[in-house]
Amino acid sequence: MGFLRLKGRSLVKGEVEGEALVTSQPISFFGGVNPKTGFVVEKNHELYGEKVTGKILVFPYGKGSSVGSYVLYAMARYGTAPLAIINLKTDPIIAVGCALANIPLIDRLDKNPLETIKTGDKVKVFLDGWVEVEG
How far apart, in whole angstroms, are the C-alpha atoms of residue 51 and residue 127? 25
pTM, entire model: 0.97
Strand blocks (E) in 54-129: 56-59, 84-87, 105-107, 122-125
Is the pLDDT assigned to residue 70 strictly greater than 60? yes
Q: Of 10, 30, 13, 115, nearest to 71 (Cα)?
A: 30
What does DSSP assign to residue 33? B
Give the mean pLDDT of the chain. Answer: 97
Domain boundaries, the chain: 3-134
How far apart, in whole angstroms, are the C-alpha atoms of residue 2 and residue 51? 25
Fold of the domain built from segment(s) 3-134: Glucose Oxidase; domain 1 (3.50.30)
Query: What number is the average pLDDT over the span 2-9?
Result: 94
Strand order in the sheet with 3-7: 3-7, 130-134, 122-125, 16-22, 56-59, 84-87, 105-107, 9-12
Catalytic machinery residues:
65
Is the pLDDT assigned to residue 1 strictly greater than 90? no
Is the pLDDT assigned to residue 54 strictly greater than 80? yes
The length of the chain is 135
Query: What number is the average pLDDT over the span 52-77?
Result: 97
How far apart, in whole angstroms, are the C-alpha atoms of residue 26 and residue 18? 21
